[in-house]
Amino acid sequence: AISAKAAIIFSKQPSSQDALHGRSAFLRCEVEDPSGVQFEWLHNGAPLIDTERRYHEGGSLTITAVDRKLDGGSFQCVARNPSTGEEEHSINASFNIKWIDSGAVSLQNPSSVAEIQNLSPVTLRCHIDGHPRPLCQWYRDVTSLTDNGQSYSINNKERTLTIHSAGPDDSGEYYCCANNAAGAVCSNRNFTLNIIGETSPFMCSIHPGLKLTYEIYLES
C-alpha cells in the first residue's frame, strides 16, 4: 500500500502590521502538524539569513529592532518536509514602518542670507521628516508661532514658515519641533534671523539765522 503524504497546512500565517523604527516586531508562522517540517523565511523573494537583529525560531520570525531601510518589502514563510519533498509558501506580509528623523532649519527664500532685506518676505524650511507625515510647530526663541494669515504663514505639507514682512522685531532664533506616532523631535540646527532696520535722514536746523544743518540718522 502507498501511504499518503501528510499535507502541510498553515494554522498561523504572517500578517502585515504597523511597526516602529528601532522597536521589536514579530511575524508568526505555524503549521497544523510540525513533525519533520523545516521553516525558512524569504525577504523580497530571497532567503533571509539569521542575524542577532533578525532571526527565526521554529516557524516565527523575530526582529529585535525594525529598520525602515533594511526591513522594507515583503516577508514570506516557507514550510517544507525534506522526507516527503512537500513545500508550502505562506502569504506575503509587510511592515508599515513608522519613523521620525530630526533635521535642520534652512533658509528657503531668498536663496542666501545676503539677499534678506528689511520688510521683505522670508521663508524657512524645517527638515524634520518621518512617516506618517509629522505635525510641525514653529518657534522664535521661546515663542510658538501660529499661522495668522498676516505676519506668518505656515505650510504643514511643505513644513515651511513664511514671514510676510520680516523686520527687526522678527529677529531671533527660529526652530521647529514635530511629532508623529513614532515620537517627537526638534530641529538639530536652528536658523538665526538678524534684521537691521533701514536708516532715514532727519534734517534739524540749529538756529534760524544759521545755514549749518545736521543730518541725524535714526534706525526705524
Residues of the chain with CATH 2.60.40.10: 10-98, 102-199
User: Against a cut of 0.85, is the pTM above it?
Assistant: no
Locate the DSSP E strands across 113-198: 120-126, 129-131, 135-140, 143-145, 152-155, 160-166, 172-180, 183-186, 191-193
pLDDT tens for each residue of 40-77: 999 999 999 999 999 999 999 999 999 999 999 999 99
CA 131 centroid distance within chain: 6
Q: Which CATH architecture has domain 102-199?
A: Sandwich (2.60)
Q: Which of 27, 37, 32 is nearest to 9 (CA)?
A: 32
CATH topology for 10-98 is Immunoglobulin-like (2.60.40)
Strand, coil or helix: 114: helix
**Distance, CA of 13 to CA of 23 (rounded, Å):** 22
pLDDT tens for each residue of 76-106: 999 999 999 999 999 999 999 999 999 999 9
pLDDT tens for each residue of 6-27: 689 999 999 999 999 999 999 9
Strand, coil or helix: 13: coil
